[in-house]
Amino acid sequence: MQTINQVIKTNDYSIFQHLKGNRVINPPHLARLKKSISEDYLEVPIIINEKNQIIDGQHRFESAKSLQKPIFFIKIKGLGLDEVHRLNTNSKNWTAEEYMNGYCELGFEDYLTYRQFKNKYKFGHNECITILRGGMKISGSNFQDFRDGKFQIYDYELAVKIAEKLEMIGDFYDGYKRRAFIYAMLKLFKNEQYNHLQFLNKLSFQSNKLQDTVNIKLYLKMIEDIYNYKRAKNDRVRFY
């Protein structure tokens, strides 16, 4: 039997460092841990690297520190943000927002721009990625790239134009941020037959015809009906 990475106990909280890029502290989770620790402190060690940066257990550390409890830790050389991601994936999955904030803290420019865009327009994560990639269809590899810090914005000016066009529709349809609707509109923005101002004009007195659905094709059919209202037969368009 061989002893490796022994557990060490200390009350010196100052030796521990925050790992830049790690997800931010979750206040509800911290409150639950503090309550649990105050009732029954289980001596579960945190994991740090040779720089004393916390790799796993930052919520346990903050909870124990606030309650003046001793810290139990294991030091393992060579660990970094990749190991943080893997450890948290195996326990509590990181959310897209946590990945975003982590890479923003590291100063990744595309993630900083992504956060600015998302905070301004309030679209969902999938929708923001798609718009910032120029409306291109997303896949599992795109999400993996986002998690791995490889996310890149294709054309920010185009993304802003798309977002502003969608917001114009919000004056007549409060479901304009729905995923299926956004994906339907992204198809239309690439269609040479589609004219956004014409659609807004037709929608202004037919907004009741645009109903919530999770089906892109149904959205395209509704939009087509609205768009073709009072148009001559030889001038009508097909969008689906």
Q: What pLDDT, in 10s, does the model give residues 185-194?
A: 999 999 999 9
pLDDT of 118 above 90: yes
Say how far residue 148 (Cα) sits from the centre of its chain.
Answer: 13
pLDDT level of residue 99 (50, 70, 90 thresholds): confident
pLDDT digits (tens, 9 = 90+) for 61-85: 999 999 999 999 999 999 988 888 7
**Domain 8-93: assigned CATH number:** 3.90.1530
pLDDT of 142 above 70: no
User: Residues spanned by CATH 3.90.1530 within the chain?
Assistant: 8-93
pLDDT level of residue 3 (50, 70, 90 thresholds): low
Using a cut of 0.85, tell me whether the model's pTM lies above it. Answer: no
Tell me if residue 173 falls in helix, strand or coil. Answer: coil
Q: What percent of the chain has pLDDT over 90?
A: 58
How confident is the model at residue 1, as a pLDDT? Answer: 58
Average pLDDT over residues 99-119: 91
Mean pLDDT across the chain, nearest whole number? 88
pLDDT level of residue 4 (50, 70, 90 thresholds): low
pLDDT digits (tens, 9 = 90+) for 18-38: 998 887 787 767 877 888 899
How confident is the model at residue 198, as a pLDDT? Answer: 92
125 and 97 Cβ atoms separated by less than 8 Å? yes
The rounded distance, in Å, linking the Cα atoms of 211 and 228 is 17
**Structure-block tokens of residue 35:** 């309550």
Give 136's contacts (C-beta < 8 A, 6+ positions apart).
130, 154
How confident is the model at residue 157, as a pLDDT? Answer: 95
